[in-house]
Amino acid sequence: MITLRKYLKQSATYKVFSHFLIEFANFLDTLGKIAQMGMHVFKSICKGEIRKKELLVQCDRFGVSSLPITLSIVGMTSIIVASQVAHEMVKQGGGNFVGLLMTMLIVREVGAIMSGFAITSMIGSSLASELATMRVTEQVDAIDVLNVDSVSYLFVPRVLSGAIMMPFVVILASVVGVILGAVTADMFGGLPYRAYFDSAWLGLYMKDLGVCLLKAMTFGATIALISCTCGYFASGGAKGVGLATNKAVVWSFIAIVILDMVFAVLFFF
């Protein structure tokens, strides 16, 4: 019996199953920590425990520093899509709908999702590594020793800045995307600007703008919360900082996709 058990533990099936159980346990643990920190942050905000100077610093970091990479990614995505859509639709006689299609695509999906991915890559990873470094160098413990709520002190300005600045970033990125779509449609499909923008307004409603802003606010807060949580619970020195940063980026990407699906089901079906 002992020999059989030892043989089973050495088998590939047992190792795969054990790895799956470990990863599933880590998933539940991380999910629980994110929910716990989210409730703590919400309570702190309701109590008015907000450091205004730090909030302004984080807003500048979240909104201004991320603009170059965000505008680049959203703009290039719009150019790629428009270069293929415009040429084909004009050839098939559907040129009058290019602006409508591009505007709906950018406002509803591309602007928010690509901005979320860009901000996760730049700001989310930075937040995670910053808090992870503070944790492994015992700076977080020092804050707790001073009888200061470290979660409120570190999380609230960052999460609030994400919720506040992300809508502005997404609006600006969407405007740039729509304009670059018009330029690309004219270059590759020969579609006049007037025809593009005339059709753009046909499929754009206030509901789309409202959902876009709500989605952006949710994405921003979620990215900041996940990144801060992964960094806050880091351990194991320099290696732990790297693992926390990696986990923050992966979890943020997954959260953005899931939340986007939820918004699509709730508001557009």
pLDDT, residue 71, reads 92
Residue 22 counted as domain residue: no
Residue 8 counted as domain residue: no
Instruction: Give this prediction's pTM.
Output: 0.89
Over the stretch 126-157, which tens digit does the pLDDT of each residue have? Answer: 999 999 999 999 899 899 888 888 989 999 99
Over the stretch 1-46, which tens digit does the pLDDT of each residue have? Answer: 556 566 666 666 767 777 778 877 887 888 888 999 999 999 999 8
pLDDT, residue 260, reads 93
pLDDT, residue 31, reads 87
Over the stretch 214-223, which tens digit does the pLDDT of each residue have? Answer: 999 999 999 9
Residue 9 counted as domain residue: no
Residue 10 counted as domain residue: no
Residue 19 counted as domain residue: no
Q: How many domains does the chain have?
A: 1
Residue 96 counted as domain residue: yes
Over residues 94-103, the mean pLDDT reads 84
pLDDT, residue 5, reads 65
Query: Is 48 a residue whose pLDDT tops 90?
Result: no
Residue 157 counted as domain residue: yes
pLDDT, residue 7, reads 62
Domain interval for residue 245: 37-44+65-268
Query: Is 259 a residue whose pLDDT tops 90?
Result: yes
Residue 263 counted as domain residue: yes
Distance between CA atoms of residues 269 and 266, nearest Å? 7
